[in-house]
């Protein structure tokens, strides 16, 4: 059975650990922030643990429109949406892990730790069958003139 586009995005997201979250600063300039994805079950929302004093928190206050991009050896994913700072200790405790503790040594009750939620409105993706298959596809495309392989799409999530 073929995957729906949403299922494709969900599957791809499971393969990524890190995101680059792009925000607009106070002057309207784009700024990218590396973040670790905290929740793998993608239902249209992404969750990140951030420092409450981080510049991206100020940026979200100015303009909540954001983009989270993910990249791997053979797959790329871009999720656009709206970000919000969420004060939810129970969820923070649920998402907490030892890696996060390196940045917030006082644990989930660390006054600097907060949640950033991205409510996705759309996702764009490109997935190739892997490095070798992509190389073969590119060579075949060059020889035959046929478009190269891979799967891409845009999904509305709102």
> Residue 136 — pLDDT band, cuts 50, 70, 90?
very low
Give the global pTM: 0.80
Rounded Cα distance, 43 and 61, in Å? 24
Residue 139: its pLDDT value, please?
47
Judge contact between 42 and 10, C-beta under 8 A.
yes
Task: Enter the tokens of residue 151.
Answer: 């799967």
Distance CA 39, CA 67 (A): 17
Share of the chain above pLDDT 90, in %: 59
CA distance 80 to 156: 10
Measured distance CA(148)–CA(151) in Å, rounded: 10
The predicted pLDDT at position 10 comes to 86
Residue 9: pLDDT band (50, 70, 90) is confident
Distances (CA, A) of 36 to 21, 46, 103: 10, 10, 12
User: Residue 34's Cα: distance from chain center in Å?
Assistant: 10
């Amino acid at each position: 059975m073929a995957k729906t586009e949403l299922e494709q995005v969900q599957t791809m997201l499971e393969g990524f650990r890190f995101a680059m979250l792009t925000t607009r600063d106070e002057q309207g300039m784009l700024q990218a922030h590396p973040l670790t994805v905290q929740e793998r079950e993608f239902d249209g929302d992404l969750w990140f643990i951030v420092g409450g004093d981080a510049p991206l928190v100020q940026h979200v206050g100015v303009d909540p429109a954001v983009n989270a991009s993910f990249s791997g050896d053979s797959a790329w994913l871009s999720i656009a949406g709206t970000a919000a700072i969420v004060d939810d200790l129970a969820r923070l405790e649920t998402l907490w892990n030892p890696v996060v503790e390196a940045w917030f040594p006082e644990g989930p009750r660390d006054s600097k730790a907060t949640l950033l939620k991205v409510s996705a409105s759309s996702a764009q993706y490109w997935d190739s069958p892997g490095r070798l298959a992509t190389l073969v596809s590119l060579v075949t495309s060059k020889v035959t003139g046929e478009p190269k392989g891979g799967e891409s799409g845009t999904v509305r999530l709102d």
